[in-house]
A and B are shown apart, each in its own frame.
Chain A
Amino acid sequence: MTEVVAATFRQKTKKSKLIEEGVRCGIFLCALASVLTTFGIILVLAKEAIPFFREVSLVDFLFGTKWNALILPRSFGVLPLLMGTMLIVIGAGLIALPVGLASAIYLSEFASQRVRKTVKPVLEILAGIPTVVYGYFALTGITPILKSFNDEIPVFNALSASIVVAVMILPMVASLCDDALKAVPRSLRDGGYALGSTKTEVSLKIVVPAALSGIVASFVLAFSRAIGETMAVTLAAGGTPKMTLNPLESIQTMTAYIVQVATGDIEHGSISYHSLYAVGGLLFLITLAANLLSYKILKKYREEYE
């Protein structure tokens, strides 16, 4: 009897050991997929950008002020595209960062549970709306309003794109700042109140400084997200790369350019085609740097409250 039992157990272990190893390998390979993706991105961008940089020097690319990729005479200075991106990003930031932070302060320091329950889901909904919808909204909703103030404003302009990108990144800023503020322990606020200060004083002078690393990290992340934004700016900001600080003009961002090349009739293998990868590479590096910066800020300057 015992031999039968022992035999059953022994067999089971051998078979299950095989399954164990098999499963382990299988899911490990799946986990590697993410690493492969990163390598894939870097490889693809580098490989396809090399033909571009054989013809255009890095200096000309990074510091040139004329971007004329599709018609002769060609020039490939990326600054107009970079400036277009920055114009929108900074414009969006000027709106979204203060409003987002103020909302976060309101929600975490002042608002009742009832208000929180109403406003937070709204923020989540705003965050979930696809960017093409925002692009449409900028084109058909915001620009007409701007035009009603000043008819000279062109249909494609940086301002309406900025406004709409601001609405897009606002939920992210508000949510992350709210998390950072909520992480400040209650005892710090109590200590402040007990010394005879108003709620605003405690919020602004004790809680916000204590949560500063989280707040700044959220700003950097929002910045990174705005840089990578594609559809809204493609629809609303235009396709004319130029060096300008005027938000009422039509410009082109790096992302919009990439879409233009990919969806246009660009000859595969031509330098214009490869410029897509150069710009894409630059975009990737900038957002990567921003994400790393945000991560470092969080790690290095996180306040220890204990």
Chain B
Amino acid sequence: MTSSEHSSAPEFNSRLERRRAFSTIFKNSCAILSWLCIGVLGFLLVHIFSSGWEWISFDFIKNAPSRMPHKAGLFSALMGTIWIIVTTAAIAIPVGVSSALYLEEYAKKNRLNSFIEINISNLAGVPSIVYGILGLTLFVRFMKLGPSVLSGALTLSLLILPVIIIASREAIKAVPNSIRLSAFALGATQFQTVFHHVLPAAMPGIMTGVILALSRAIGETAPILMVGAVAYVSRAPHGIMDGFTALPIQIYNWAREAKVEFEGLAAGGIIVLLLVLFMMNSVAILIRNKTQKAQS
């Protein structure tokens, strides 16, 4: 049954060789395009590391930003980022996880709750700069919190809230119903069931989602640029009402400078940022893998 004999009834002009060849070409083209993505990532990383590696040093981490490239450092930016992220976490995690618990464990199917759900999906798609506008107007000006760590944290919290809620809901949904039922059967109230049984069971999934949301927040520039840029700050914050700068903002500022050295500094800053993100994501993945193994 080679293609020289007719492989099917005579009415068909199957041209199998041609179709087979086309199939292979198509498959290979798609493969090339996929591997292209890996190539781009490689190019990006190589480019950044080659520019920035020489700038990485202890001084780099220790110093404050400066007009002179060789004296410039990340310290204020790092501290700013840490202050903001910790504050953001303190706000967003309780609110986000509570919202998820409400929607999954308490809410009945009524119009208000559907409305809440729709809102969350919509908010997940709003550009981060719109959150920046909201933060600038509401927190910095209207609530007179000024360009402070608190304003920045509140803004970022609103930004990552939908992410935390969606991820937490998934984690809570994944808790087997049998746990709830057995708790109820033993006479537990809803509060006890949810907070003593469901929440701990969902915790690994929630933590993974939270870490990923926070790592997204660390990289966000536009919202905190809007909030904090009203004041130019070069020192590390000492309280949540202080002005701040942050890692991505510092990178942005350096990238805009004309002097060539600042290009390298920016790359150095990016390396630090990517390392932080890498560590956070690895922790999240580790947690996810550990729980998957424990469950199977």
Q: B residues within 8 A CB of A102?
A: 29-30, 33-34
Give the interface residue-count category, chain A. Answer: 35 or more
Report if A255-B222 is in contact (Cβ < 8 Å); known contacts: A20-B189, A41-B130, A106-B27.
Answer: yes
B289 to chain A, nearest CB (A): 13
Inter-subunit contact B98/A38 (CB<8 Å): no
Report if A131-B221 is in contact (Cβ < 8 Å); known contacts: A27-B98, A30-B94, A235-B252.
Answer: yes
Interface string of A226-245 (1 = CB under 8 A from B): 01111100010000000000
Which of B116, B222, B267, B277 is the most central at the interface, judged by chain A CB atoms within 10 Å of its CB? B222
Interface-lining segment among B18-26, B54-62, B67-75, B173-181:
B18-26
Taking the complex as formed, is A200 at the interface, i.e. its CB lies under 8 A from any CB of chain B? yes
Report if A135-B255 is in contact (Cβ < 8 Å); known contacts: A20-B191, A34-B99, A287-B127.
Answer: yes
B152 to chain A, nearest CB (A): 13
Inter-subunit contact B161/A33 (CB<8 Å): yes
With A and B bound together, what is the CA distance between A6 and B261 in angstroms? 78
A98 to chain B, nearest CB (A): 8
Interface string of B122-144 (1 = CB under 8 A from A): 11011111111110111000000
**Chief secondary structure at chain B's binding surface:** helix
Q: Which of A94-127 contact B (CB under 8 A)?
A: 99, 102-103, 105-107, 110-111, 115, 118-119, 122-123, 125-126
Inter-subunit contact B119/A35 (CB<8 Å): yes
Of all chain A residues, which has the CB nearest B255? Answer: A136
Taking the complex as formed, is B248 at the interface, i.e. its CB lies under 8 A from any CB of chain A? yes
Inter-subunit contact B101/A235 (CB<8 Å): no
Inter-subunit contact A277/B255 (CB<8 Å): no
**Chief secondary structure at chain A's binding surface:** helix
Q: Which of B208-239 contact A (CB under 8 A)?
A: 215-216, 218-222, 225-226, 229
Q: B residues within 8 A CB of A263?
A: 225-226, 229
**Chain A residues near B (Cβ < 8 Å):** 16-17, 19-20, 23-24, 26-28, 30-35, 37-38, 40-41, 44-45, 48, 99, 102-103, 105-107, 110-111, 115, 118-119, 122-123, 125-126, 128-133, 135-137, 139-141, 167, 170-171, 174, 196, 198-201, 204, 221, 224-225, 227-231, 235, 255, 258-259, 262-263, 276-277, 280, 283-284, 287-288, 290-292, 295
- Please give 18 more A-B residue pairs, beta carbons under 8 A apart, in addition to A103-B37, A259-B129, A259-B226: A20-B189, A23-B191, A23-B195, A31-B98, A40-B138, A99-B36, A118-B38, A130-B273, A132-B221, A132-B252, A136-B48, A227-B127, A228-B127, A262-B133, A288-B122, A288-B125, A288-B126, A290-B125
Q: Which 10 A-B residue pairings sit nearest by Cβ, starting from the closest?
A: A228-B127, A130-B219, A106-B30, A30-B98, A200-B23, A27-B98, A198-B23, A291-B125, A230-B222, A31-B99
11 A-B pairs with CB atoms under 8 Å apart are: A33-B95, A34-B161, A40-B138, A106-B33, A123-B37, A133-B219, A199-B27, A231-B252, A262-B226, A277-B137, A287-B126
**Chain B residues near A (Cβ < 8 Å):** 8, 14, 19-20, 22-23, 26-27, 29-31, 33-38, 40-41, 43-44, 47-48, 51, 94-96, 98-99, 101-103, 106-107, 115-116, 119-123, 125-134, 136-138, 158, 161-162, 165, 189-192, 195, 215-216, 218-222, 225-226, 229, 248, 251-252, 255-256, 263, 266-267, 270, 273-274, 277, 281
